[in-house]
Amino acid sequence: MKNLGIVFLLFFALSCSNIDKEIINNPPKNYTLGDTLPQPPVYEYYEGVELPTFPIIALHIVDREYEYHKNDQGFNYTRDAYFEYRLLELYPNDAYEGMMVDATEEYELNSDNYDLYYDSLQAWAQVNNMESILIEDEFPAFTDIEDEAEIMNMTEDEVEEWERLENIATVPLGQRILREELDSLIYGQNHVPYRSAPVVAGIAIWSVVAITMGVELYRLLLIKNRTLQKQNEFYPNSVTGDQGDAFRHCFMAMQMRRYYGIKLATLGTNLYEKLYPNTYYGATYMDLHNNPIGILWCYQIFRGSNNTHIYDWEFWADNTKEWINHDNREHGEFMDEWDDVPPPSDETIKTQGDAVSKYEYIYYKIL
């Protein structure tokens, strides 16, 4: 990887659409951060109580139900109470009373943990003249579908799907969706995006975020579907551990930051790996290593010009692919021993992985 200090100055000084590809395809010689900067701090997610997980589409529908009914006469639920009530109703074997209290406590613990990490990251950035990597985009909360469609640069199909889900959520209380209908919606044969990838999230982050911050959860569905779409387009034969896998995590993490900010992107991607670790530790380590590339180290390279590509997620995908593939994958570190049979021990993988520059992606299979 190359020197982001120079790249970011270019991004902020120039707002032309060609500069992004110019930097990626003709990077300056000192573009490799690993050769010029000390390793940055690494975030470690703290997982306390074992909390249940639910499909994001279910959380989205419950959230929209609450928004529709919250001003009804006689509707006395707070948002967190309504979430717990509805999830107990829909998922009685998973949800439990007091779940939202536990979820809030875990979120607060991880929020405090993140704040300590961010303080160390800021100190590192200041010492190394890299404050620009922490400049946030605006990521507005949901207001209405017209604004959301612009912010997310939705296709007609994505808008129609939003409206279909809205029609399911905005019904009288006695007509709210039941579990059998919800499972059919998520896993049914007629709804390919959810059947192929029913995005699941830990309640600790996303339910609490929806409750306390008004974050629109439909964005997660779009991020997941768009990432898989682009991975299949760019790397049609991709498998776990190859550069297509690295692309998926870098691009998904980059979008998470764009639509939710650094903090929630960091918490969310780390939580996901904790809840759903790969059976092979090398694959989990690779994912945890590659996520911050999209969130921090290459975010502005993938994101492009603030003025020209503010909503252009397909352009971001192209930039991410160009960076992953650049000059025979020079931005990556190939961990060839990790694909051995039998593979190295978890301790060996961690030792070898920790020695890799945080500014280069990791992969251990060749596509």
Q: Flag whether the pTM goes above 0.75.
A: yes
Instruction: Check: CB of residue 54 under 8 Å from CB of residue 113.
Output: no
Instruction: Check: CB of residue 43 under 8 Å from CB of residue 114.
Output: yes
Instruction: Give the tens place of pLDDT for each residue, 145-173.
Output: 899 999 899 999 999 999 999 999 999 99
CA distance 173 to 177: 9
Phi and psi, residue 176, nearest 5°: -65, 150
Bridge partner list, 55: 200
Q: What is the pLDDT of residue 216?
A: 77
Instruction: Give the tens place of pLDDT for each residue, 232-251.
Output: 999 999 999 999 999 999 99
Residue 138: which pLDDT band, with cuts at 50, 70 and 90? confident
Instruction: Check: CB of residue 220 under 8 Å from CB of residue 116.
Output: no
Inter-axis angle of helices 56-69 and 218-234, to 10 degrees?
150
* Model confidence at 211: pLDDT above 60: no
Instruction: Give the tens place of pLDDT for each residue, 291-322.
Output: 999 999 999 999 987 678 889 999 999 999 99
Instruction: Give the tens place of pLDDT for each residue, 48-88.
Output: 677 888 888 888 899 899 999 999 999 999 988 999 999 99
Burial class from Cβ neighbours inside 10 Å (0-12, 13-18, 19+) for residue 2 reads: buried
Which residues have C-beta within 8 Å of that of residue 167, sequence separation ≥ 6? none
Number of domains in the chain: 1
* Model confidence at 328: pLDDT above 70: yes
* Model confidence at 224: pLDDT above 80: yes
How do 53-55 and 200-202 pair as beta strands? antiparallel
Q: What is the pLDDT of residue 282?
A: 97
Range of the domain at 101: 4-363
Which residues have C-beta within 8 Å of that of residue 278, sequence separation ≥ 6? 240, 284, 287
What letter represents residue 246's amino acid?
A: A
* Model confidence at 191: pLDDT above 60: no
Between 21 and 280, the more confident residue is: 280
Q: What is the pLDDT of residue 139?
A: 78
Q: What share of the chain is helix, strand, coil (3-state, %, to 5)?
A: 65, 5, 35
Burial class from Cβ neighbours inside 10 Å (0-12, 13-18, 19+) for residue 136 reads: exposed
Residue 46: both structure tokens together: 């703290």
